[in-house]
């Protein structure tokens, strides 16, 4: 039964297992997301470390390349010190000498592959230059404002990146103070182009830039980043740089990352505008270049690594989800197995219980079987005893009937005997007289009387004989025999006899059938005595495999208190020696022994009717 708190309406109540499932689902989702995120972060960290390691190597290589590109020309201005034409021109200028030096410088510039080679006097004016014959020639130009000039005049190596004030062409300036007799007499300058590096980066798809001592990008694989400041410039800086014309008239903008994250020394994650203008994340690695105050910065795009990290994150999420599903499946399987085991155990228990009950029941049954067998044996014994008693009773009944009939038989026999005595005495007298005819007719009458007496005694003998349960009997013969036995009583009562039956062959011993009929007819005759209307019906008909004979009389009927005792042995309502109370009992038992029955009916019109059912004899094949 669900127990709800009274404040929660039933419709809003969440079943605990549903809540648990919801929480578990949310937990699962959180776990999958967490795994995905952790996978992503881990992959990203590893990827960045690998990228940083690769970038470090790349940075080193590119830094070397930049350094060698710059270093390649360092010796060139100092070489001019060895040129006698240079010192001569500086000490004693002259147009011829200038021209010769111009030619020499032009040749030198061509061979070295530099942008320009030129010589300045102590005032910073160009006295000879490789581009003497070009419109953009520096010849005569005052470059004393250039830092490289100032450095070289001081005897220091002049290094400078700038945009040419005449040509507007960016380049790297290397300057050397030319000495004669221990003092500086002029300055030799070589302007080289470094854009080959940019081309190389572009070819190798490397994103990099070089920023100078002012933090201005002087070389960049992406032209858009060129001449931008990598660190914030204040107004004073801007003023100073504008005045130096180092970057010609370029407006110096700042290259400010849209976002940045410090990952380590010289290692940053930054978001910059990419080559196509869209913001891109980069791993930024910076290294100072040797012999200069410049820095090389390498930008490694993180997009690819991010994609890899995302796919790793996705993979981790999927693996986590699979593990969770696997775990759930295993758990489910464990539950199913546990349920099956429990069910099997329950089944085994039930089986055991059933077997135990069956064993108990079998034991009970065999005990009751033994009891039943004992009872059957007892019943069989009782039946045998009863049968024996019944046989005895039948015999006793016969004797009783014989006893009853002996009077009428004696009467039957006395009559012919008296007649015989008279007839034989008369016959003797007629013989003496010679009246042979009369004597003959007397003798014939004597013979007839003897036959009749023989029939009487014969039927008595047959009645007393024991018969078997089964046999065959003719209904007509049996009726005839019974009526014959009861002849004197029939004569006495003189009932109207209705014979309403046809001959039938019945499966019962002939004598037994006669015995039954004698009993029934004798009772009927008794009932008819002293009745004004005396009628006796013998009606029969076939019912399936048996034959039904009804013996009905128009007697006074049987009173209700007598009816219940009719078939009890020795029950009689007849006075003195007249009744033994065995007739109906014997008749019923004889009928039953032959597979039939004897019952009583009490007709509404009065009298009594006894119905005898007996099996018909099966017709023989022959
Ligand atoms: P018994 O004839 O020796 O008395 P029975 O067993 O033949 O013994 O009959 C038992 C009793 O049943 C009789 O005493 C009589 O009261 C009654 N009975 C039998 N047949 C008839 C009948 N047809 N009409 C009236 N009563 C009968």
412 lines ligand 1 (CB under 6 A): no
- CA-nearest residue for atom 3, ligand 1, is 579
What is the domain partition of the chain in residue ranges?
75-193, 196-305, 405-463, 466-615
Secondary structure of residue 434 in the 3-state scheme: coil
Q: Which pair of tokens denotes residue 36?
A: 């995905």
39 lines ligand 1 (CB under 6 A): no
Residue 125 CB contacts under 8 Å (≥ 6 apart), including other chains: 140, 141, 142, 143, 144
Q: Where are the alpha helices (DSSP H) in 92-178?
A: 95-112, 147-153
Residue 474 pLDDT class (50, 70, 90 cuts): very high
524 lines ligand 1 (CB under 6 A): yes
The percentage of the chain sitting over the pLDDT mark of 90, rounded to a whole number, equals: 36
Q: Classify strands 228-229 and 253-254 as parallel, antiparallel or unpaired.
A: parallel
pTM for this prediction: 0.49
**Whether 178 contacts 262, CB under 8 Å:** no
Note the pLDDT of residue 167. 74
Q: Helix axis angle, 475-485 relative to 510-528, nearest 10°?
A: 50
603 lines ligand 1 (CB under 6 A): no
- Whether residue 3 has pLDDT greater than 50: no
Residue 490 pLDDT class (50, 70, 90 cuts): very high
515 lines ligand 1 (CB under 6 A): no
Q: What share of the chain is helix, strand, coil (3-state, %, to 5)?
A: 55, 20, 25
Question: Given this chain, do its domains 75-193 and 196-305 carry the same CATH topology?
Answer: yes
Note the pLDDT of residue 72. 83
Q: Measured from the CA of 571, which atom of ligand 1 is nearest?
A: 10
The larger pLDDT score, comparing residue 584 to residue 464, is at 584
606 lines ligand 1 (CB under 6 A): no
> What digits encode the pLDDT tens for the residues 58-81?
889 989 988 888 888 888 888 888
- Whether residue 582 has pLDDT greater than 80: no
579 lines ligand 1 (CB under 6 A): yes
- The best mutation among 517, 526, 536, 587 to test binding of ligand 1, ranked by most ligand atoms within 8 Å of the C-beta, falls on 526
Mean pLDDT computed over 41-51: 89
CATH architecture of 196-305: 2-Layer Sandwich (3.30)
Q: How far apart are CA 263 and CA 165, in angstroms?
A: 41
- Whether residue 313 has pLDDT greater than 80: yes
401 lines ligand 1 (CB under 6 A): no
Q: What single DSSP character describes residue 68?
A: H
Q: From ligand 1's centre to the CA of 99, what distance in Å?
A: 186
Q: Is the dihedral of CA 493, 494, 495, 499 positive or negative?
A: positive
> What digits encode the pLDDT tens for the residues 245-275?
778 777 778 888 888 888 888 788 889 887 7
Note the pLDDT of residue 348. 93
Per CATH, which fold does 75-193 belong to? Beta-Lactamase (3.30.450)
Q: Where are the alpha helices (DSSP H) in 434-505?
A: 436-464, 475-485, 487-493
124 lines ligand 1 (CB under 6 A): no
Taking domain 466-615, whether its CATH number is 3.30.565.10 is answered by yes
């Amino acid at each position: 039964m669900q127990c709800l708190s009274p404040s929660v309406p039933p419709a809003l109540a969440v079943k605990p297992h549903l809540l648990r499932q919801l929480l578990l689902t949310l937990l699962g989702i959180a776990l999958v997301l967490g795994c995905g995120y952790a996978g992503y972060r881990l992959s990203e960290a590893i990827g960045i470390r690998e990228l940083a390691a690769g970038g470090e190597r790349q940075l080193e290589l590119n830094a070397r390349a930049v350094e060698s590109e710059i270093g390649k020309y360092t010796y060139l201005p100092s070489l001019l010190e060895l040129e006698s034409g240079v010192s001569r021109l500086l000490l004693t200028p002259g147009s011829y000498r200038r021209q010769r030096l111009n030619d020499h410088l032009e040749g030198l510039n061509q061979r070295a592959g530099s942008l320009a080679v030129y010589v300045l006097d102590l005032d910073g004016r160009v006295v000879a230059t490789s581009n003497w014959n070009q419109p953009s020639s520096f010849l005569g130009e005052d470059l004393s404002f250039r830092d490289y000039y100032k450095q070289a005049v001081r005897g220091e190596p002049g290094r400078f990146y700038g945009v040419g004030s005449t040509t507007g062409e960016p380049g790297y300036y290397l300057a050397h103070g030319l000495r004669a007799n221990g003092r500086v007499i002029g300055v030799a300058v070589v302007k080289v182009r470094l854009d080959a590096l940019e081309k190389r980066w572009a070819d190798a798809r490397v994103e990099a830039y070089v920023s100078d001592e002012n933090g201005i990008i002087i070389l960049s694989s992406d032209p858009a980043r060129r001449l931008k400041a990598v660190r914030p410039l204040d107004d004073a800086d801007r003023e100073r740089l504008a005045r130096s014309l180092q970057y010609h008239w370029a407006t110096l903008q700042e290259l400010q990352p849209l976002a940045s994250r410090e990952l380590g020394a010289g290692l940053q994650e930054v978001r910059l505008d990419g080559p196509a203008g869209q913001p891109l994340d980069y791993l930024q690695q910076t290294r100072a270049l040797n012999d200069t105050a410049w820095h090389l910065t390498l930008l490694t795009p993180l997009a690819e690594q991010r994609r890899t990290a995302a796919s790793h994150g996705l993979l981790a999420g999927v693996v986590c989800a699979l593990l969770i599903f696997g775990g759930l499946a295993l758990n489910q399987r464990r539950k199913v197995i546990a349920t099956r085991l429990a069910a099997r155990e329950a089944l085994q228990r039930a089986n055991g219980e059933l077997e135990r009950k069956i064993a108990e029941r079998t034991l009970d049954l065999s005990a009751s079987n033994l009891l039943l067998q004992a009872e059957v044996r007892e019943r069989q014994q009782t039946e045998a005893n009863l049968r024996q008693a019944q046989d005895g009773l039948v015999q006793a009944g016969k004797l009783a009937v014989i006893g009853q009939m002996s009077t009428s038989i004696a009467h039957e026999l006395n009559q012919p005997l008296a007649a015989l005595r008279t007839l034989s005495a008369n016959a003797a007298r007629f013989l003496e007289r010679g009246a042979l005819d009369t004597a003959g007719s007397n003798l014939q009458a004597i013979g007839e009387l003897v036959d009749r007496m023989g029939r009487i005694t014969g039927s008595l003998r047959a009645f007393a004989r024991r018969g078997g349960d089964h046999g065959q009997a003719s209904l007509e013969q049996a009726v005839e025999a019974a009526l014959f036995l009861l002849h004197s009583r029939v004569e006495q009562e003189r009932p109207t006899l209705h014979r309403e039956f046809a001959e039938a062959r019945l499966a019962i011993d002939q004598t037994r059938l006669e015995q039954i009929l004698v009993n029934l007819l004798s009772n009927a005759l008794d009932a008819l005595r002293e009745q004004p209307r005396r009628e006796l019906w013998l009606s029969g008909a076939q019912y399936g495999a048996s034959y039904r004979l009804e013996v009905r009389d128009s007697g006074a009927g049987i009173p209700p208190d007598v009816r219940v005792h009719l078939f009890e042995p020795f029950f009689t309502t007849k006075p003195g020696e007249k009744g033994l109370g065995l007739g109906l009992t014997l008749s019923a038992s004889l009928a039953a022994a032959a597979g039939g029955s004897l019952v009583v009916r009490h007709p509404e019109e009065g009298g009594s009717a006894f119905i005898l059912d007996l099996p018909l004899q099966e017709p023989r094949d022959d």
